[in-house]
Structure 1
């Protein structure tokens, strides 16, 4: 926890006002309550992205009742225990999630839902939407899954083809300029996808962040088969995300306009 306190101090010194705590799953970290409190004490507005698996715990509910997050986004994997537990591969996950969600709604937390639509739960998409509306919560839908940040393709076969949407052309991103990502070890990168190269905030301090703008520019260059592409103006993902898809050996139609030819065949 001492390292996380040092990191939070660096973030505060850098002028960070909005801190998004995510993972993995942030609530399983034994240091989460202390780090969350510390961020609040430093004057940050804290957003939590969670799968809600620990939200039913009394100490988590007590923490959020005392220091409500500025916003909490919860991932939803189904509207019934059968679908939810199948997607998460965790028996009892639905019951724990729904209990925590009900408690959070009753506590008046600022919640929104991310409906994760896959092959295994696509038949419950309408029920998931109805659940969110019944609770009076805003929601977004995610069906276009990406490879893992480690460049492996496990999530892609779980996509529900009929729910996939066409990604809008990528027109730029302020990653590394207006915001940045930092892992628990203090390694700052332009975002959670483009993690290399990075800046060691613990050793370099705030001054190291000045390098992120240059890193962002270099990561956006068309490389790895994309340089000289005549369709680059209609690219559907940023270059760091395209690299992740390429490392996962994903079919082109997942991320590239050239993939239309694959679908046509």
Structure 2
């Protein structure tokens, strides 16, 4: 298993270490030197061994480059990041969930392998695996390991309910994710189980969280604040602080991906935050989203039009830039607005709110009464 990843990135080249969010920037000549060293069987050069020791306190001196470094080839476009919904199925049934109909369906194992190779060949360095709940997908362990072995820095978005299972924990300990982002829905069983509509969900989450922290994984907590659990917001914050893990908060709910308004009533009005004006997005240009069927879209919100990566392969991604530019045009429901430059959501998100027939103040500051 490789200790380092050497990869082109934009106009530079990076040295990455699996499971770490740090990186080392190197020049083209150094990158080419590493590639030649792989071919000739040379040992890790002194300059890289020293840099790795400073960055990660790891000694790789004397190791063959071919053994220690995975060399990534450049992709044909500029994509370096992607998210992948491995499946939309979930073992929770949260009332605020934006997925709506959480059908457990998608690619078989052969299709998942093909998709991961397309992502690698496209130049994806940072891959976020999400769902639904990714850890309940029967192919998750094999898919995660393959992404890791292909030289992608993997982040997992999970509810944490399966983290205490020995097979999952052993996998993530041996092949640590760059980040393990866990959603937390309450600080007590009554609140947590009520929001997720699953008895015992709180206990499974607590077991999983403790197991991940004890294993030294890079845990990051996402505090999901709704009208049902807002009274425990301080307790959730204290829990994260007690464990010494980073935390962030989310209170602004969005419609479902089908344009349904079902999640919106779960919002806690006093915890809603005012979004900054939308100022652009790399979606469709340096980033893409893949759904459980291998269809690539600019993001998880702007899902149509999309590209079938299983049928078209890497070449299909060439169309995403034009799709993104078209979707981001402020047309349709916002036609005629003279203040579109200060919109607080992107056009695809505004479209979802409009399809859900949500009040304008949910997505547009110009809808507030003056």
TM-score normalised by the chain length of structure 1: 0.97
State the Cα distance separating 1:58 from its structure 2 match. Answer: 1.7
Which residue number corresponds to residue 234 of structure 2? 126
Q: Is the 8 A contact 1:231 1:257 kept in 2?
A: no
Match of 2:318 in 1: 210
Q: Which of 228-237 and 136-145 deviates more? A: 228-237
Counterpart for residue 22 of structure 1: 130
With the length of structure 2 as denominator, give the TM-score of the two structures. Answer: 0.70
Q: Which of the pair has more CA radius of gyration?
A: 2
Gaps in structure 2 of 5+ consecutive residues:
1-108
Structure 1: segments with no counterpart, 5+ residues: none
Task: State which of 183, 186, 196 in structure 2 corresponds to 1:75.
Answer: 183
Moved over 2 A (4+): none
The residue aligned with 1:65 is 173
Contact 1:189–1:197 at 8 Å: present in 2 too?
yes
What is the alpha-carbon distance in structure 1 between the residues aligned to residue 187 and residue 117 of structure 2?
Answer: 41
Q: Name the CA distance, whole Å, in 2 between partners of 1:225 and 1:93.
A: 40
State the shift of 1:52 in Å: 1.0
For residues 102-113 of structure 1, what are the structure 2 equivalents within 5 Å?
102-113=210-221
Q: 1:159 aligns with which of 267, 270, 275?
A: 267
Q: Secondary structure at the match of 1:46?
A: strand
1:139 alignment counterpart: 247
Q: Look up the match of 1:231.
A: 339
The CA deviation at 1:184 is 2.4
Given the alignment of the two structures, is residue 188 of structure 1 paired with residue 285 of structure 2, yes or no? Answer: no
State how far apart, in whole Å, the 1-side matches of 2:312 and 2:115 are. 11
| CA distance in 1 between partners of 2:260 and 2:143 (Å) | 30
**Corresponding residue for residue 199 of structure 2:** 91
Q: Is the 8 A contact 2:353 2:363 kept in 1?
A: yes
What does residue 10 of structure 1 align with?
A: 118
Task: Compare the two structures and name the one with the higher helix fraction.
Answer: 1
Is residue 333–residue 354 contact of structure 2 (8 Å, CA) maintained in 1? no
**Aligned residue pair count:** 262
